[in-house]
Amino acid sequence: MPRIQPLPDLLISQIAAGEVVERPASVLKELIENSLDAGATKIDVQLEEGGVKLIRVADDGGGIPREDLPLALARHATSKIASLADLERVASYGFRGEALASITAVARVAITSRTPEAPHAWQLDAGNAAAVAPAALSAGTVIVVADLYFNTPARRKFLKTTATEFSHCDDVLTRMAQVRPDVEFTLTHNGQLKRRLASADFARRARDLLGEEFLAQARSVDATAGPLRLAGYAALPAYARSSRAEQYFYVNGRFVRDKLLVHAARQAYADVLHGAHHPAYVLFLELDPAAVDVNVHPAKTEVRFRDARGVHQFVFHAVQRVLAAPLAAAHAAASGVPPVPRGFPPITPTFAPPQQTSFALHEPTAAAYLEFVSQAFTDAIPSAPTFAATQHPLGYALAQLHGIYILAQNTQGLVLVDMHAAHERILYERLKTGADSQTEVQQLLVPVLFAASAGEFASAEAHADTLTTLGFAIAPAGPQQLAVRAVPVLLSGGDIVALARALLADLAEQPASRVIETRRNELLGTMACHGAVRAHRSLSVPEMNALLRQMETTERADQCNHGRPTWVQLSISELDRLFMRGR
C-alpha cells in the first residue's frame, strides 16, 4: 500500500492554480484586485494573444517594499489579514495569499515595484526568487505574467480562441471599472488600444461601459434598511436582453455571482418582464462585512450571508419599488418637482362583486365583471380640461393612429402609446389592489385529499398560521394524506393539489408564498387583458388624455402584463435626424 507523504510545494501550488487560475481572465482579475488594494488611481493593462502570451498590469499604488517581494510569491503570505477576526471582517479584495503563488506555478512571473520612500524600484523574477535586483520605475507596481500554462500543456489545451479569451479579460476589467469609477483604466490588446476610461462618477462610468441607451432606460436605486443599503441602476424591462451579460451585482464593492441575489432581482422583474428575457442592472449592496462570508471559494465570486432570507427580501422589495413607481413619481424625482396629483377619478367599478363570486376565468360572473370594468373606463372620463404638457411625463394627446396608438406631445417631443397595452396594465394593477384589500376564502364542500410526503406533513404543521393567513386550510387526513378544506376564492378554479404541493414546498424555503401571488397574478392578468380596450376602438381626445393621466399614476405602467412596452418616446433631436434637419 502506498505510503502517506507530503506533496511538493510546486505541486500544491499547481493544484491551487486549478481553482484560482481558470483562464487569463482569472489572472487579470487577481492582479487588478491587488492594484486596487494598493490604492491605485491609474491601472494600465496590456494583453497579448488574449492574455495567454502576456498579461502586464501597471499601477500607481503604494508598491511593495524590497524585503517583501519574495514573500509576495509565497503561498498563504498576505498583508491583508493577520487573525481570525480580520478574516471575519474582510474589506479588501485579496486576502488569502494564494493568487500570485498559484499564478507563478503555471506561468513566468516578474514583479517590479517601488514604494514612495524608496530611492529606486526593485525587480523580482519568479524563476529566481532569491535574486532581487534594482530596476527603473517611477512609482507603483508592474506585474508581468508571460506564457500561461507553459509547464502544464494539458491545461492550455482547454483555453478557447484568442478572441474569446480577450473577451473574458475585457469582461473582468469592465466589472472592476464599474465599481471603481474613481480609478482610470486603459486596456491594450496586441498593441491596439481597446479601452480608455477616465476617472468619473458612477453615472458617467455606467454610460461609458454600458452605453447611453442603458442609462436612458435605467432607474436609479437607493434604498436603506438598517445596516443594508442598495444603490445603483435597474434598467426598465423594455431594455431586457437575451442573456445575463449586463447584470452586475456587487457586495461591499466585490463583484459576485450569487444565486440568492440574482433570484431576488429576477423576482422583482417577474411581473413586468417579457418571456425568457433577462433584466439588466448595476447594483451595489452594502452591509456589515461581518454579516457576509466572502471566503467561500478561492475565486471569491461566491458569498454566503448570515441572514440570507433578510437580504433576499430587502433586495427584492428595493428593486420592485423602483420598477413599480408610477410615471408621474419617476418624472418628479428626475425633474425635482412634486408628483403630479391624481386629477382624474380612478377607473374602478362603483360596486363590489358578490362575496361568493369566484374570479376563475371560466365562470360567467367573471366575464360580466370584466364587461363592467371596461364600461367603467368610458363612463369615468370627464370633460376635456386644459393640460400643461410640462406637468405630465406623457404630455397631451394629439390624435389616434389606426385605432391602435395614441400620439401625444410632451416637452421632449413625440410620445406613442399602445392604448390596449396601457389600459391592460391599468386594469391589472387595480384588480391586484382590489384582491389585496379583501381575503375571500372558498370553503370546499368536499375536501381534496392527496398523498403527502414527510416533508409536506412537516411544512403543513410548521406553517399552519401562515397557511390560514393566505386563505388555505390544510390538515392531516390520515397517516399519509393531507386534506385541503379551503382555498382563496381567486384560486379556487385551479389545480388545488398542485397548488397545495407547490405552496408547502415554497413555505419550507421562503418566509411568504410567492407561489400564491404568482398564480393569482396570472389569473388577474388574463382578466385585465380581456377587459382592456380593444384595438381599433375610436377614442376621443378627452378619453385619450384620461388614459395618459391614469398611466402616469399607475404602478409599472411602462409595460403591459406580458412585459411589452406601453409607450415610447421620440425626442425632437431624433425626429430632426429622421428628416435630416440641420444637415
Cα dihedral 128, 132, 135, 141 in deg (nearest 10): 90
Closest CA to 423 of 578, 310, 271, 531: 531
Tell me which H or E stretch contains 20. Answer: helix 9-20
Please give the pLDDT value at position 373: 44
At residue 356, does pLDDT exceed 50?
no
Please give the pLDDT value at position 564: 81
DSSP secondary structure code for residue 393 in this structure: T
Grid cell at residue 22: 481558470
Report the Cα 31 to chain-centroid distance in Å: 26
Backbone φ and ψ for 347, nearest 5 degrees, come out as -85, 85
Is 523 part of a structural domain of the chain? no
At residue 188, does pLDDT exceed 90?
yes
At residue 342, does pLDDT exceed 50?
no
Distance CA 375, CA 533 (A): 9
Is 348 part of a structural domain of the chain? yes
Q: Give the tens place of pLDDT for each residue, 467-504.
A: 887 778 999 998 889 999 998 776 676 788 888 888 88
Please, where are the H alpha helices in 336-476? 364-379, 419-436, 454-462, 464-469
Among 199, 228, 249, the domain-final residue is 199
Among 7-11, 196-200, 341-345, 361-365, where is mean pLDDT lowest? 341-345
Cα angle: 399, vertex 402, 405; to 5 degrees? 60
Q: How does the average pLDDT of the chain come out, rounded?
A: 81
Distance CA 407, CA 85 (A): 63
114 and 147 in a single domain? The answer is yes
Distance CA 144, CA 58 (A): 9
Closest CA to 208 of 195, 221, 219: 195
Among 517, 540, 562, the domain-final residue is 517
313 and 409 in a single domain? The answer is no
60 and 175 in a single domain? The answer is yes
DSSP lists the bridge partners of residue 134 as: 122
Note down the domain range covering 490.
440-517
241 and 290 in a single domain? The answer is yes
Cα angle: 291, vertex 294, 296; to 5 degrees? 120
Q: Is 410 helix (H, G, I), strand (E, B) or coil?
A: coil
209 and 304 in a single domain? The answer is yes
Q: In which band, very low, low, confident or very high, does the pLDDT at 364 lie, cut at 50, 70 and 90?
A: very low
Distance CA 134, CA 145 (A): 19
Whole-structure pTM value: 0.70
CATH number at residue 87: 3.30.565.10
32 and 105 in a single domain? The answer is yes
Q: Give the tens place of pLDDT for each residue, 193-232.
A: 999 999 999 999 999 999 999 988 899 999 999 999 999 9
Q: Is 6 helix (H, G, I), strand (E, B) or coil?
A: coil
CATH number at residue 409: 3.30.1540.20
In total, how many domains does the chain have?
4
93 and 61 in a single domain? The answer is yes
Is 330 part of a structural domain of the chain? no
> Do strands 281-286 and 247-251 pair parallel, antiparallel, or not at all (unpaired)?
parallel
DSSP lists the bridge partners of residue 282 as: 233, 248
At residue 237, does pLDDT exceed 80?
yes
Cα dihedral 332, 337, 343, 344 in deg (nearest 10): -10
Question: Do 470 and 513 form a contact (C-beta atoms < 8 A)?
Answer: yes
Is 358 part of a structural domain of the chain? yes
42 and 170 in a single domain? The answer is yes
Q: Give the tens place of pLDDT for each residue, 31-70.
A: 999 999 899 999 999 999 999 999 999 999 999 999 888 8
411 and 427 in a single domain? The answer is yes
SS in 3 state form for 239-251? HCECCCCCEEEEE
344 and 300 in a single domain? The answer is no
Q: In which band, very low, low, confident or very high, does the pLDDT at 389 lie, cut at 50, 70 and 90?
A: very low
Grid cell at residue 551: 398611466
Is 3 part of a structural domain of the chain? no
Grid cell at residue 557: 405602467
Is 329 part of a structural domain of the chain? no
CATH number at residue 461: 3.30.1370.100
Among 175, 199, 223, the domain-final residue is 199
Q: Is 313 exposed, middle or buried (0-12, 13-18, 19+ CB in 10 A)?
A: middle
Is 77 part of a structural domain of the chain? yes
DSSP lists the bridge partners of residue 292 as: 305
**Number of residues that make up the chain:** 583
CATH number at residue 315: 3.30.230.10
Q: In which band, very low, low, confident or very high, does the pLDDT at 510 lie, cut at 50, 70 and 90?
A: low
Please give the pLDDT value at position 386: 45
Is 1 part of a structural domain of the chain? no
472 and 533 in a single domain? The answer is no
423 and 558 in a single domain? The answer is yes
Q: To the nearest whole percent, how much of the chain has pLDDT over 90?
A: 45
Q: In which band, very low, low, confident or very high, does the pLDDT at 26 lie, cut at 50, 70 and 90?
A: very high
Please give the pLDDT value at position 123: 94
